Amino acid sequence: MGESYFDGGLLQLIGWSLLGSLITVCTFGICFPWALCMIYNWEISHTVINGHRLRFTGKATSLFLQWIKWFLLCIITLGIYSFWLGIAIRKWKVAHTEFAD
């Protein structure tokens, strides 16, 4: 088995987070899924598990469609679905993560 590690840096994370925040604010939240995908891509591409680098295959358009569905579910359930929203996002993220090699 190989080594597992994360090789991203703090300044990179701050930069990507600021860029994502700026994009979200400038588009009044419409591009929030794109910002999330951008940050997830950075995070996953700097992760190595058992010697194998990971790759993020998620697309912002796919997340945007999920985001609309989740938003509607929150409205229909009077906010109750929001308790499961964090889990739904993590499931989507993991479903779009694979080994690069």
Residues 62 and 94: their CA atoms lie apart, in Å, by 14
Of 71, 5, 81, residue with least CA distance to 32: 71
**pLDDT of res. 89:** 93
Domain ranges of the chain: 5-99
Per-residue pLDDT tens digits of the chain, which is 101 residues long = 789 999 999 999 999 999 999 999 999 999 999 999 999 999 999 999 999 999 999 999 999 999 999 999 999 999 999 999 999 999 999 999 999 98
Report pLDDT for 48.
Answer: 96
Q: At what angle do helices 32-45 and 10-26 cross, to 10 degrees?
A: 170
Q: What is the pTM for the complete model shown?
A: 0.85
pLDDT at 2: 85
